[in-house]
Copies of this chain bind each other. A is one copy, B any other.
């Protein structure tokens, strides 16, 4: 449970209060290998017999995002935002356009590119998001012939 210690420390440092909601939500996000929508988190909490109002889930995610413990993203172009625990050290995602499965990609190909671009544009670049889209092996097989 290394992360648990880690996240309670990060919570403390952030100045946010250490509440049941915050702990429970962080716990779920950390254990998830996929970014989750607010409502998904809400139901995941319910399964653990933890009742937290959906507004509170939203508000909690917002505070956690403010303090950089959580990141808010929109990977697929649908109408809801996803949230993920902000591991220090970033990740990228490979998204299946068919079944919507998301695979985490651990290496980042953008090493020196940001610096080059900073020189060209005079932007101070602080981060990036890279999403790759395609079809996973299973979906390719299943749809063989279409």
Interface residues of A (CB under 8 A from B): 72-74, 77, 79, 81, 94, 96-97, 103, 105, 109-110, 113-114, 117-118, 121-137, 140
Q: Which residues of B contact A97 (CB under 8 A)?
A: 126
B128 and A131 contacting across the interface, CB-CB below 8 Å:
yes
Q: Which residues of B contact A123 (CB under 8 A)?
A: 94, 96, 103, 132, 134-137
B132 and A125 contacting across the interface, CB-CB below 8 Å:
yes
A128 and B133 contacting across the interface, CB-CB below 8 Å:
yes
Q: Which residues of B contact A94 (CB under 8 A)?
A: 117, 121, 123, 125
B140 and A124 contacting across the interface, CB-CB below 8 Å:
yes
Cα–Cα, bound, A132→B117 (Å): 10
A72 and B77 contacting across the interface, CB-CB below 8 Å:
yes
Cα–Cα, bound, A126→B132 (Å): 8
29 contacts between A and B (CB under 8 A): A74-B74, A74-B77, A77-B81, A94-B117, A94-B121, A94-B125, A103-B121, A103-B123, A105-B117, A109-B109, A109-B113, A110-B130, A117-B132, A118-B134, A121-B136, A122-B137, A123-B132, A123-B134, A123-B136, A124-B140, A125-B132, A126-B135, A127-B133, A128-B130, A128-B132, A129-B129, A129-B130, A129-B131, A129-B133
